[in-house]
Structure 1
């Protein structure tokens, strides 16, 4: 599919290219095969190529968002979903009016679709998925610090008292934790301005944790000094006291999405951590690759 799509590079074959590209994306979204690095590169090339029709770029961004979500990279998934929505808004009228003959995607009996109508089928799913990512759905955890006091050992042997973490013990702890469950990117984590208020196409992300968003360097520096330096985590970095979401745990599907606090490394099993939370009263051992970061407190 991909090789055929590349060979028909002239947009006079746009109708044929659409069906070929849609076949390629269907294979990826249905998980018939593992999405390879070459597939991610292929999707990226279509998304970034401004000579490609907007419909193709929207479909590619949507598919990339799905694949990022499959990998539990919720922030990245949200980024690609927002990009698809932005491209839908930017699509010129000349492209919107074009008509394709296509199998009925909504079982309405209709076979002639404008590009705008086809794009809307995808964009509706994009908006629904983004709404799920942005919604604060996580169950609250215990209001007590199950890890002990607020002094936490770091992997480099030092310890610190996290001033931001102290906010999660008391009357508003659950609400603040729920706020961290939603993906970022809709407002600056420094000044609080919305994306529309900043006038930017998209906010800047912390290059380390990829989960904090800023409108500029000034807000990023201010937030770093205010506590993000301590709260920031690399993708595979886990520290005692961290709040994390359980994911991809096939043996206990009822725990999927629950928030737990990391207590300590499992002394009996390498690569696993002892965790505990509101819905999991006892300490349990979970592999590090089944624990996903939520947005940092600072």
Structure 2
């Protein structure tokens, strides 16, 4: 390990951490101290003084101040500022376990077509396994025996590490879907470009969900919006239309989300590029595979 010029411990010089946050100053300040890597902090137009507080408390952190809330697209802006070949994402309420970043970097170095590593996420002080990680570990997708871990077609952004080359080739997070539910489109594009996504138990992230959250219905509505827009951008026409019908039929909250998608539908259609039959078939396989019923999905930070 080496020491940054400001005293921050750097676990592996190949990795940076990109953090995006909005109006969670105290949690952000607590979590930033835990990162053992150069940090790029993208402030999503906070009004609580977060950016100034970070600049004062952590002069080694590069602060990117956005004039408007860009959602998950802020991570793409952060990656563009990073100076390392590998970037780990974190929210204001998540951080990486000791050794996790070096382990992820070693996996990328050993496997040239590995584009994204999904960490094992431990939730809360009790360190419960995130239920989504259990599902990922049991992925039904066909894998490559030369690539470690369970093959994926999705991920949890606050516990993901990416190869910058792959991230940029796949377009990063976009400014159409924004947040939440931003991971699906990027995962589809990574796979479509021939990059592997893997769930790896030996890379560990911690997530202590923030108590500062919006209503659950608002999140479900936003997820429905994202699902419709992602379908319009990347799924075959029949699958995209089926997704719209199922979203509308799911209930009043989801119908509202589908209506919300209409404002961004022209932008989504301008960027429409359906994935290959191979990737579309894998996405269909996941839709047909039963998954365990679980409590509400993690928030991932209000942005």
For Structure 1 versus Structure 2, the TM-score category normalised by the shorter chain is: under 0.3
Q: TM-score, normalised by structure 1?
A: 0.26
Judging by fraction of residues, say which structure has more strand.
2
